[in-house]
Structure 1
Amino acid sequence: MTDMTNATGHTPGARSVRVSSPLRLAVALAVVAAVLTIIPAPSPSGATGSTGEAAGGGTARAQSSNSPDVVPFIGTFAVSCAYQTGSYCGGHHGYWAIDTGMPIGTPVYAAGPGTVTSILNHSAGGLSLYITHPDGRISGYLHLSQTLVSVGQSVDRYDQVARSGNTGNAGSYSHLHYEEQKPAWTKIDPGKMWACHGSTPVLYPDAAGYSTWQGLPYGVTIRNDGYGCLGGPGGQVWEYTTGYSNADANAVAAAAAHFGMSPSELQKQGVGLLGWMLLVAGASGTSPLVPPPPSTGPVQHETAYNSYEKQYLDLVRGYYVLTPEQAQAGGASLLVFFAAMAGA
């Protein structure tokens, strides 16, 4: 671990966050440009609209460390029931949930990171697994034949957690019943869900030609070729290292401690926030940041990005005409600024 104590004895845990003039300037210009720009935004690579639309259309709930937002299986399978999908469901789904037919034993993956909070075996849902995610959502996987995790276990997005089955009231129909709840036992719209068509990220149900899960017709197929295009298993990872002066490194470390993350994660979260601000503001073209945030120094932090996260890094560095390392410094400086505003 890098020694974050400077010559004056200032440590990362200190309450005072000092922001250098270049960092303050970078923050001010970034915030003003993002908020005041009103021209339609370029979407991240692989997207088609100005609000974070991926191939297939639709506005995504931004993939982050907090939410369940990926299709929880790999393969191409047909939806039998969604929300209020018609008489063929026998009125069974007058609520948010998605039934997808698949052979018994098909691997089931966590739709997002979280903690396994419940494994039940009851007459309706059969063997059922529930994961509570950092944003408060609970993802549920029902009618399973086997669970591969235990209550209290932490899981990551893309981890295999179970195998599909036909337990409970599924009868002879082997399928995965997927639902999301917030609060517990209150079913909610799961929103858009990411999948991969080859190396291209897509969103469902839009990739199937529908804007909502409500009323989705019987037999519509969901295809997911894996998670590589999203940075999951087998996906490409990009790594960039940004250097800081001792003074700026102390400010970054203190802000990271304030937000409960590492300096490397602070860089990524700051870049993501800048990208989100550009999308919301509708920024397009370029607006060079002069002078650019300093990105060299004795204290260095390396941050890794998957395919999805890199879209926001590319958006930020493209708009402000920065190197990836400078974009990371700018993102970190934004969160340093907010930490200072909070009195960290």
Structure 2
Amino acid sequence: MTETLFHRPALATRLSKLIMQVAVGSSASSGVFLAAPRRTGKSTFAREDLRPALEAAGAIVLYADLWKDLTNDPGLVIVEAVREAVGRNDGFITRLAKSSGMDKVTVGGMNFSLDKIGLGKDIDLTTALVALSDESQKIIVLMIDEAQHAITTSEGVAALFALKAARDELNSSKHHGLRIVCTGSNRDKLAMLRNSKDQAFFGASMVQFPTLDQDFIDWLCANLDLPCALDPTEVFQLFKESGYRPELLGAAADEIRFDFTIDPATIPARFTELVRAQADELYANLKKVIHSLTPIQSAVIRVMSVKGDNYAPFEAPTMALYAKALAQAGIAASEIKVEVPGVQQALIALQEKKLVWKASRGVYAVDEHVIVDLLRADGLLGGLS
């Protein structure tokens, strides 16, 4: 039995139209970036609603999930998405094989391998996507989930620039168009792909993905199948408190379902208690990690959180802020001297603890914005601006 999902067809149709039919003056042809916090339904929407809407509008949709297996280089994941789409149709393979100089093609035989497609391979991504476009006579939409992960490796960066070249070629009048849709759980990290001229998708549209709303809660409450009905208005307030994360509501409902002694009359209060406990537990381990940091590690992440996009780890003013953060923690300058090697080691340790994220070109960012919120809630960011 398949899982019952909440669908957002109106939002999917609207987004599909904006992606496919680029308005005059719009930058959507450069790429569309959808940002939303992790675990708020973004990926489910992309797979289950947006992809079918784009296909219904006549597009060929390629999907690359860079978060599914972090042991795979993101560049290879993107290349595999293109290979998979090409491999679906014999006509594409024939066209590609001939473009690579093969006069005779045995489809399904050993004469042509999809491994020929890729970065630095016989057939580059532009050639592969042009063949796909010309053979199908359709717009191609490549959806990249957790796209910011691409800029953590040189292969991933190379894949993005290869896609830029393909996009520029396919969006010319000779072909049928290529749209790149990138989703990400951290707006600041996602913005690194399009905020500067040396990035592949400079100027692409950044959209704050809409959170699930009262309609979702109404649907959820109608389908929870608990011994006592929940008030959708009250559940929605609880949903907002817990960061719009559906998993927390589902986990609370499961705990009630498997409690065979619960009094139905107490279910609404118990549901509220469980959701709040789930939310607290979600951040409990993160708080423990933050409070176990060494003084210099704590100073570095506090300063990084305050500086945001303007964080420059080794500049003199930043080094002075580290010293100030240490002083606020009661650490005298004679105890810990702030020097570049110590900051470098702290940054490495913070990456290993999954508190800090690093792009391949040496730009750092706090891994999730909730870390900044927790530091601020504990009063650890004051006086460091």
TM-score by length of 1: 0.25
Higher strand share: 1
State which structure, 1 or 2, has the greater radius of gyration over its C-alpha atoms.
Answer: 2
Higher helix share: 2
TM-score by length of 2: 0.23
